Structures are given as C-alpha cells and as structure tokens.
Amino acid sequence: MTCELRWLFSAIMVACSAARTAAAAEVTSSTATSPPRFITSGPGFVDYWPVFSPDGKNVLFSRSFDGGRTWELWIVGASGAEARRFARTSVSVSATRANWSSKQPLIAFTGESGAKASVWIINADGTGPHELPFTEFSGHAFYPSWYPGGEQLAVMDGKELNIKRIDLARHHAETLTDRNRFLTGMPAVSPDGKSIAFAGQPNTGQPYDQTKNTIWLLELGSGQVHSLEATHGQGRAPSWSPDGTKLAFESDRADREGRHLYAAFLIGRDGGGLQQVTEPKFNVNHPVWSPDGRRLVVSANSQTNGPRIAIVELGP
C-alpha cells in the first residue's frame, strides 16, 4: 500500500484546556470483540474509503482495478453479500471519499479528473451524478462531510489546506480555517453540527506532511480550536460516533516496529478514554461508525489480497 492512497480559521484561537494538559489520554485494552470481518474479497483490486448507509444495511466504498489511478463507487451488504457497482449511469470522474447524508437521500464524494478534484453529488439510488459548480475552491476539494441538516458540507481544500463550508442552497462556500494558523486535512462534522473534528497540524512554516497530523476540534460557535489529545498523538481520518460522544480515527502510534502500519482507535469527545480497537498488522484506515454505534467499517489489509472492506464489532 503506497502513501499516495492515504492522500491526501477570520483569526481563531488555539486553546488547550488545563484539564487535558493535566490528564494525558492513555491507551486502554482493545475494545474489539473479534478481528476485522472482511466483507469484500478476491484478487485484482483495492478497496478504500468505506461508509455505512443510513440504515446500516450496506457499505459504500471506492474500488480501483489499476492500483489506485482510477476509482469507482461500489456497494456491498454489511453482512458480506456480493459487491456491485453503485452508479447506474457512467461517472466521468474517479470517485473517492464518499459521505452518505443521514438526512437527505444523497451521497457526496470527491470526483477527480487529471489534476482537478471537486465535490460531486449522487442520489442514494445510484442515479444523477453531478458536480457542484463552486468557484471558491482551488480545484482540489476533498473529503466532503455532511452537516446534520443535509444542506451544507464541510470540505478540505487540498491546495489551500483549509476547511470550507459549502451551502448547497445558496451556492456559496465559506472558509472556516486559516492556513496561516493550521494546515488541515480531512474534516468531520459532529452529529449536532456544533463542531468539526479534523486532522491537521499547526503551521510553523513547514511543508504539509499528512503523516504527522493529529486530531483537532474546531468549535463552530466560538471559532476556537483545540487539540483533542493532550499528548498530540499522531492521528488522521476522524469519524464521529452517532451520539457525538466519541471519535474514531486511524493512527500508527501502536506500531512499535516503525513500519507505519495503522490501527483504529476510539477516544471521548472530551479527549479521555483512548482505546485501541485493531492491531497494526491489519493496517486499518478510514474507520467509520455504523448508525447504531456498535460497529466500525474500515479498509484493512486482508493479508492475502491487500486492502479490502471489513467490519469491526465493538464491545459494550
């Protein structure tokens, strides 16, 4: 698995609370009840960027047959039924990083064509794929994340390295983060719409290196940003639990042999209760919660065929 498959505030205040500083999160024992259960299999392709459907019955993901140069949206039953192509009509772009709205029957994804990456929308039945015609982006729009009302999206601008909010009804995009303060990666809007978790790093003049990201929280009411963890542990691809009390993310912090293999972790919204969910040998990435909060869906190393989609059952 190459690094390229891991691609990729208004002034705001960076605040770290005294409580977090005094009580650094410690990893507890694994909460996984069993190893990842693979629901896709077979040779000749790579599976990445999974997300549950709002009813939890299906998993949407991206599949590549050419080593990650081009991607298509596929769908598979969460129980492991045979996967199939999702779109009912031809999609003229490489489709990645899908995010399924829990409010509207819509899916947002990153559509890549050549050097351009933009936000696309497709109906939940696989029809009507179309590009959103926003001009406020640099041409590098990644990781759309729905606001709970289904009328706005938070998106990473991969060139400006900031987060922007797209208003679908007003056809307007607003910048939420300041590149002079932070270099941002993937955003995730909280279920109540009041916070955005993102992978990023303070801008001290260094080149952006997404392997050195940590998880941060942008509080939309106050504009304040603070580190999720007092220890600033490496982490990427945040995902909120349905009740908004926890986050899942990927990190290589558990790989003691320096291979940069990733595991899935859970952590409380308050920065406490850090828990390791998978072992580094599975090289898990992009963990996303099920609607009932009992499972994660991930892309994981199947040992024999490389990255495939898997379900991780969580303990009580």
d(CA 71, CA 298): 17
pLDDT at 28: 52
- Report the 10 Å Cβ neighbour count for 215: 27
Question: Which DSSP state fits 176?
Answer: -
**DSSP assignments along 62-118, one per residue:** EEESSSSSS-EEEEEETT-PPPEE--SS--SSEEEEEEE-SSSSEEEEEEEETTEEE
Residue 14 has pLDDT above 50, yes or no: no
Helices (H) and strands (E) in the chain, counts: 1, 24
Three-class SS state of 299: strand
In total, the chain counts a number of residues equal to 316
d(CA 268, CA 246): 4
Residue 21 has pLDDT above 60, yes or no: no
User: In which band, very low, low, confident or very high, does the pLDDT at 305 lie, cut at 50, 70 and 90?
Assistant: confident
Beta-strand ranges (E) seen in 158-306 are: 162-167, 172-175, 182-189, 195-202, 214-219, 225-227, 236-240, 246-251, 263-268, 275-276, 285-289, 295-301
Helix ranges (H only) for the chain are 18-22
199-242 pLDDT, tens digit each? 999 999 999 999 999 999 999 999 999 999 988 899 999 999 99
pLDDT at 313: 95
pLDDT at 54: 97
d(CA 147, CA 136): 19
Residue 7 has pLDDT above 70, yes or no: no
Q: What angle do CA 244, 142, 98 make, to 5 degrees?
A: 60
- Burial state string for 241-278 with b = 16 or more CB within 10 A and e = fewer than 16: beeeebbbbbbbbbbeeeeebbbbbbbebebebbbbbb
Between residues 296 and 35, the one the model is more confident about: 296
Residue with tokens 């940069």: 260
Give backbone dihedrals phi and psi of 192, rounded to 5 degrees, phi first.
Answer: -90, 0
d(CA 96, CA 237): 14
- Report the 10 Å Cβ neighbour count for 131: 15
User: In which band, very low, low, confident or very high, does the pLDDT at 116 lie, cut at 50, 70 and 90?
Assistant: very high
Question: What whole-number percentage of the chain has pLDDT above 90?
Answer: 80
46-103 pLDDT, tens digit each? 999 999 999 999 999 999 999 999 999 999 999 988 999 999 999 999 999 999 999 9
User: In which band, very low, low, confident or very high, does the pLDDT at 13 lie, cut at 50, 70 and 90?
Assistant: very low
Structure token digits, residue 26: 């410690």
pTM for the model stands at 0.89
What residue ranges do the domains of the chain occupy? 3-313
Between residues 161 and 1, the one the model is more confident about: 161
Residue 25 buriedness (CB in 10 A; 0-12 / 13-18 / 19+): buried
What average pLDDT does this structure show over 292-309? 94
Residue 172 has pLDDT above 90, yes or no: no
CA atoms within 13 A on the CB side of 226: 17
CATH 3.50.50.60 fits 3-313, yes or no: no
What average pLDDT does this structure show over 18-29? 41
What average pLDDT does this structure show over 35-48? 95
119-136 pLDDT, tens digit each? 999 999 999 999 998 777
User: In which band, very low, low, confident or very high, does the pLDDT at 293 lie, cut at 50, 70 and 90?
Assistant: very high
d(CA 112, CA 105): 22
